[in-house]
A and B are shown apart, each in its own frame.
Chain A
Amino acid sequence: MPSHLSEDDYIKQFPAGLDEFPTLVDRDHYIDAWHLNTIFDSILRIEQYYLDHKESIEAASMDSFEGADGLAVIPVPAGRYAAGKTCTAVDANLVEGNIKSGVTIFGVAGALTTGGGDFVDASVSTSYTADAWKFATPAALDAAAGIASISAPSAST
């Protein structure tokens, strides 16, 4: 004698999990109206889920890409990216000649070396060698009397 399966034993979980369905056996189980109803209910849940996520599901599949030269913040084009896809920032100035030797930045080993040397500034040098500006030096200091004033710079001493 066939038996009726109880709808209450099969819980709807989608999209949190899979819906539960009975396994029907000929001559053991009646095929009741709720069987078709639960199929339709699950179908509608799937359709609703698809509609809710339609934009992302149907988005174009995108590949890894590089940003424009020098951009620190790179806009990501709309699309669907599989795990492992990357966005790479690039800068034409990020080359070994612009990085101090011994330093590595973003995987680029620096090769820049500088020789150092004496400070050279033509304008300062010229000013002092011309001896054009010197301050007058008092011949003697009278600490007791104090110094009321100091002579203005003289251009000739």
Chain B
Amino acid sequence: MATSFVHFRAADFTRAFPSALDPLPTFVDRRHFLDAWILNLCFTILTDIQTRLLAYTGA
């Protein structure tokens, strides 16, 4: 039985934080490709949170 891999689309996950939680994909082995934009999104979210914390705590 052939395995059908699919790509998540970046356009389907519009950032909502800090107004609300970000919508994020849920991966399934042998079902989804791990694309570059996924990791880039992770890094962007992390730096956004860090930036906000630094800005508001005076660090």
The residue from A43, A54, A58 contacting B24, defined by CB atoms under 8 A apart: A43
The residue from B29, B42, B49, B56 contacting A33, defined by CB atoms under 8 A apart: B29
Contacts of A82 in B (CB 8 A): 58
Taking A50-B49, A57-B56 as contacts, is the C-beta distance between A37 and B26 under 8 angstroms? yes
Contacts of A148 in B (CB 8 A): none
Q: Which residues 2-56 of B sit at the A interface, judged by CB distance below 8 A?
A: 17-18, 20-22, 24-29, 31-32, 34, 38, 42, 45-46, 49, 52-53, 56
Q: Would you call B58 and A46 a contact (CB within 8 A)?
A: no
In the complex, how many residues of chain B place their beta carbon closer than 8 angstroms to a beta carbon of chain A?
A: 24
A44 interface hit (Cβ, 8 Å): yes
In the complex, how many residues of chain A place their beta carbon closer than 8 angstroms to a beta carbon of chain B?
A: 22
Q: How far is the CA of A47 from the CA of B17 in the complex (A)?
A: 7
A101 interface hit (Cβ, 8 Å): no
Q: Would you call B18 and A50 a contact (CB within 8 A)?
A: yes
The residue from B20, B31, B46, B52 contacting A43, defined by CB atoms under 8 A apart: B46
Q: Would you call B24 and A33 a contact (CB within 8 A)?
A: no
Q: Which residues 2-42 of A sit at the B interface, judged by CB distance below 8 A?
A: 31-34, 36-37, 39-40
Taking A33-B29, A57-B57 as contacts, is the C-beta distance between A51 and B21 under 8 angstroms? yes
Pick the 5 closest A-B CB pairs, nearest first.
Answer: A33-B27, A40-B24, A33-B29, A47-B17, A36-B27
